[in-house]
Chain A
């Protein structure tokens, strides 16, 4: 199943992904305000919708300063890496039947690989900044990635076993009878938690950790380079939400409404959930985070794969 208009899908997906990521600046602030009994930005334009425009104009006008002590090429490259890797992951996400950039038969693996590569951006940014706080943020990101990437991959194996394919459109098609969130509920929870760690959002934003590390890996960044990290984070949230809806909630499948709309509704639901969790949960200590990843999540993920495999074997 390939797209009838490949170029159109590419441009459309890139534009929509970027627009959603940019508008998340506004959506996140309004939703956080809603859950904290505030209003959030509501002055610029109707309902404060022009806040996105105002923010982007502001961040483009800011001085793009490179400190003299940094490792210049790496410092400049790092923000681009997070952006590129997340956009690459969008290539394998099926929005609707036929609307996909590239239907790889190893789509899940490609998605996992690209979203994990994003951590290089953080590590390199922390390393090249030549700043102890930035370095600690980068190191934390690396350790976090190591411990959470393992069960992130394993949590999807149950889905792959059930669908019998690594291709994301095939996985969506396999959910025609029942969404994989029902038979693969542990996998869904694990992937959700790993997704939080993957996007480095609260409660797993230890690499940023304003209260401990100034601003973590992007302490030394300013202007649009900082903006790239920011938009990269929001794109990551969009990506993980879209992936959850594709892998566990049947992607474009749904009654009455067109597939694209169903996909967007499901994605936005999980984006809102990401923001809700940010409003609700505190940040764990670093050793708690690590021991959770290795001692709790990994065994659960392994047991889940084992049970899923056994169940599928018995079924046949």
Chain B
């Protein structure tokens, strides 16, 4: 009986405590830099698309919300012909970001993506691509990869030595 009265009194004292509610639209919550929100596609320092259309993000995606089609340009650089993320399915797990070998796909601290029509939640490549480099600065996949593309032969990448001519390795 006494404990009940004490409970009532303690609950009453809560009337004078600070309320913990964050009044959202007026008062924005703090989002950590690594917050997993809206997904973007970043560009390398030269302004080219980082995405090489390897499909790893689409494979890693547990809900299958990423769709893309790989193609090649005249220099032999792979890039996605289309890149589509259905944000009405996306669960913002960040597995695509972990899977991405070129730091192209990244999650940003932005969650305000409300729409009145569900089809507006399907983002195309134009909607996903941003002009900057996101969280990884200075990384350019094509400059460090050993792949031969137009304008860069084998062995010309950074930290790469020229290929060994096997015919000169005679005993």
Binding site for B on A (CB under 8 A): 33-39, 276-277, 279-281
Q: How many A-B residue pairs have CB under 8 A?
A: 35
- Residue pair A37, B11 in contact (C-beta under 8 Å): no
Please give, as numbers and ranges, the residues of chain B lying within 8 Å of A279 by CB-CB distance.
11
Q: State the main secondary structure of chain A at its contact with B.
A: helix
Residue of A nearest to B17 (CB): A37
Residue of A nearest to B10 (CB): A280
Instruction: Tell me the residues in window 17-69 of chain B with beta carbons closer than 8 Å to chain A beta carbons.
Output: 17-21, 23
Binding site for A on B (CB under 8 A): 4, 7-8, 10-12, 14-15, 17-21, 23
Residue of A nearest to B18 (CB): A37
Expressed in whole angstroms, the Cα–Cα distance for A240 and B1 within the complex equals 22
Expressed in whole angstroms, the Cα–Cα distance for A281 and B11 within the complex equals 9
- Residue pair A39, B21 in contact (C-beta under 8 Å): yes
Q: State the main secondary structure of chain B at its contact with A.
A: helix
Report B1 CB to chain A, min CB distance, Å. Answer: 9
- Residue pair B14, A36 in contact (C-beta under 8 Å): yes
Please give, as numbers and ranges, the residues of chain B lying within 8 Å of A35 by CB-CB distance.
11-12, 14-15
Report B11 CB to chain A, min CB distance, Å. Answer: 4
The 9 residue pairs across chains A and B that have the minimum distance between CB atoms: A280-B11, A280-B8, A39-B21, A280-B7, A35-B14, A37-B19, A37-B20, A35-B11, A38-B21
- Residue pair A281, B4 in contact (C-beta under 8 Å): yes
Please give, as numbers and ranges, the residues of chain A lying within 8 Å of B17 by CB-CB distance.
37
19 A-B pairs (CB sep. < 8 Å): A33-B19, A34-B14, A35-B11, A35-B12, A35-B14, A35-B15, A36-B14, A37-B14, A37-B20, A38-B19, A38-B21, A39-B21, A39-B23, A276-B11, A277-B8, A279-B11, A280-B12, A281-B7, A281-B8
Please give, as numbers and ranges, the residues of chain B lying within 8 Å of A37 by CB-CB distance.
14, 17-21
Please give, as numbers and ranges, the residues of chain B lying within 8 Å of A38 by CB-CB distance.
19-21
Expressed in whole angstroms, the Cα–Cα distance for A38 and B11 within the complex equals 13
Residue of B nearest to A40 (CB): B21
Please give, as numbers and ranges, the residues of chain A lying within 8 Å of B14 by CB-CB distance.
34-37
- Contacting B12 at CB < 8 Å: which of A39, A276, A281? A276
- Residue pair B15, A34 in contact (C-beta under 8 Å): yes
